[in-house]
């Protein structure tokens, strides 16, 4: 008889760097999931802002099946039609002139940082090497990206970190002014901090960064790995602000669940990525590109993007209604369908305690740090699923309050 995998297998066979929930989902459709026992869940987590069209959306399944029967992979010794179509779709829809494809957000940011350094060497000289980023930011888990990220717990304990990296306070332009200079190569910033607690950048702050970069001949890099591809109510969050970066990185929602990443850049910057400077075996993989193209074309329509804004209002109304009863949240914030609810003082640090209760009630949600309940559902989640998910969230919160 074949072995049915269980949660103990995780502890036996998997590296111990994660602590997954006890239940093991086996099937998904839209914004609903079912576990091994057949219990059903509503998904407000979206695979951490990845499942942009929910689970097994027919448009993505069709793209995957169709390409899966034609051609999967070639390496970059050859190019392929889906990769070219995806790159064109991204260029046509954004500020960018050139696209580098890869397989994850961390890889897209690694490419962005390496490109920025190379651009500075090419155009200004070796001395222009300082990268400014922000405390609480998250840019991935490669060694360069954890070092640029503003959460020291992710970069400490691995030996000497790469140099030339400076951290400022998010939404505090003055703290950036103290660090910026003619040796600044780039400023890397999430237009809204995701892992750091769902903190939107202010218009003045992001505009100020743009101005400082222009003043000092530095590049502005927007990490839109979490905010990109419809999540914010626009294809990319920079469009909400009307502030254009020089480099933008995208992943998560881009593949709707298929691993894919992209770095977008202007011609003037991208031209430093000459033959041989960078690469990725899987970058531009035909299967990944076909799925991402289908996701981008489906999401970047007025219907879907307007729908995200409408659903944002619904999420906010439901959360406010829950909060009027239980007073657990201090602030409800976010953009589009990337929402955070910061716990009130009486429940400081307790956001993480909601998650197992929610699972018991049949709801998957997320946190962003111990103090913020985070939601990143499908961009097309049906209104009925929002209502039912919120009813389940309310029961979880009722239990949290009763047990306090």
Sites of contact with ligand PLP (CB under 6 A): 104-106, 109, 138-140, 190, 194-195, 223, 225-226, 251-252
Nearest approach in angstroms of CB 143 to ligand PLP is: 13
Q: Per the annotation, does 223 bind a ligand?
A: yes
Q: Residue 103 or 378: which CB sits closer to ligand PLP?
A: 103
Q: How far apart are CA 144 and CA 141, in angstroms?
A: 8
Q: Which residues pair with 133 in a beta bridge?
A: 167
Task: Check if the beta carbon of residue 223 is closer than 8 Å to that of residue 249.
Answer: yes
Reduced to 3 states (helix: H, G, I; strand: E, B; else coil), residue 336 is coil
Q: Which residue is nearest to ligand PLP (CB)?
A: 105
Task: Check if the beta carbon of residue 364 is closer than 8 Å to that of residue 358.
Answer: yes
Q: Residue 190 or 353: which CB sits closer to ligand PLP?
A: 190
Q: Per the annotation, does 246 bind a ligand?
A: no
Task: Check if the beta carbon of residue 359 is closer than 8 Å to that of residue 353.
Answer: no
Q: How far apart are CA 235 and CA 228, in angstroms?
A: 6
Residue 138 known to be catalytic = yes
Q: Residue 210 or 374: which CB sits closer to ligand PLP?
A: 374
What is the Cα 222 distance to its own chain's centre? 12
Nearest approach in angstroms of CB 248 to ligand PLP is: 11
Q: Pick the catalytic residue from 44, 100, 138, 315.
A: 138
Q: Residue 212 or 338: which CB sits closer to ligand PLP?
A: 338
Task: Check if the beta carbon of residue 204 is closer than 8 Å to that of residue 172.
Answer: no
Burial class (CB in 10 A: 0-12, 13-18, 19+), 187: buried
Nearest approach in angstroms of CB 174 to ligand PLP is: 24
Q: Per the annotation, does 156 bind a ligand?
A: no
Q: Residue 184 or 226: which CB sits closer to ligand PLP?
A: 226
Nearest alpha carbon to residue 124 among 249, 219, 188: 219
Residue 252 known to be catalytic = yes
Nearest approach in angstroms of CB 1 to ligand PLP is: 36
Q: Per the annotation, does 97 bind a ligand?
A: no
Q: How far apart are CA 273 and CA 83, in angstroms?
A: 18
Nearest approach in angstroms of CB 285 to ligand PLP is: 15
Task: Check if the beta carbon of residue 390 is closer than 8 Å to that of residue 362.
Answer: no
Q: Pick the catalytic residue from 43, 129, 223, 385.
A: 223
Q: Pick the catalytic residue from 98, 128, 130, 252.
A: 252
Binding-site positions for N(2)-acetyl-L-ornithine read 141, 280
Residues carrying an active site annotation? 138, 223, 252
């Amino acid at each position: 008889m074949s072995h049915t995998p269980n949660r103990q297998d995780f502890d036996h066979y998997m590296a111990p760097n994660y602590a997954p929930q006890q239940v093991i989902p086996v099937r998904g459709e839209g914004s609903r999931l079912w576990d091994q026992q057949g219990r059903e869940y509503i998904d407000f987590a979206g695979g951490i802002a990845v499942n942009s069209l929910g689970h097994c959306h027919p448009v993505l399944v069709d793209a995957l099946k169709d390409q899966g029967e034609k051609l999967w992979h070639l390496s970059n010794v050859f190019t392929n039609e889906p990769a070219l179509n995806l790159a064109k779709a991204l260029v046509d829809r954004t500020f960018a002139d050139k696209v580098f494809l890869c397989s994850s957000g961390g890889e897209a940011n690694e490419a962005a940082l390496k490109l920025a350094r190379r651009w500075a060497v090419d155009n200004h000289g070796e001395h222009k090497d300082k990268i400014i980023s922000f405390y609480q930011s998250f840019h991935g888990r490669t060694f360069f990206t954890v070092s640029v990220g503003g959460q020291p717990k992710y970069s400490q304990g691995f030996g000497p970190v790469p140099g030339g990296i400076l951290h400022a306070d998010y939404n505090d332009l003055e703290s950036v002014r103290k660090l910026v200079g003619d040796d600044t190569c780039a400023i890397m910033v999430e237009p809204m901090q995701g892992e750091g607690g769902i903190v939107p950048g202010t218009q003045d702050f992001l505009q100020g960064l743009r101005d400082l970069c222009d003043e000092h001949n530095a590049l502005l890099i927007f990490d839109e790995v979490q905010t990109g591809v419809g999540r914010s109510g626009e294809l990319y969050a920079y469009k909400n602000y009307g502030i254009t970066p020089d480099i933008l990185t995208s992943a998560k929602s881009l593949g709707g669940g298929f691993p894919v990443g992209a770095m977008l850049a202007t011609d003037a910057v991208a031209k430093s990525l000459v033959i041989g400077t960078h690469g990725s075996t899987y970058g531009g993989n035909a299967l990944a590109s076909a799925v991402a193209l289908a996701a981008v074309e489906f999401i970047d329509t007025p219907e879907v993007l307007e729908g995200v804004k409408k659903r944002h209002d619904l999420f906010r109304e439901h959360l406010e209604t829950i909060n009027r009863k239980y007073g657990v949240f201090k602030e409800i914030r976010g953009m589009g369908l990337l929402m955070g609810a910061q716990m009130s003082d009486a429940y400081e640090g307790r956001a993480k305690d909601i998650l197992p209760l929610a699972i018991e009630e049949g709801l998957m949600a997320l946190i962003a740090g111990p103090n913020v309940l985070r939601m990143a559902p499908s961009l097309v989640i049906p209104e009925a699923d929002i209502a039912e998910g919120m009813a389940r969230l309310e029961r979880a919160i009722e239990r949290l309050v009763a047990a306090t």
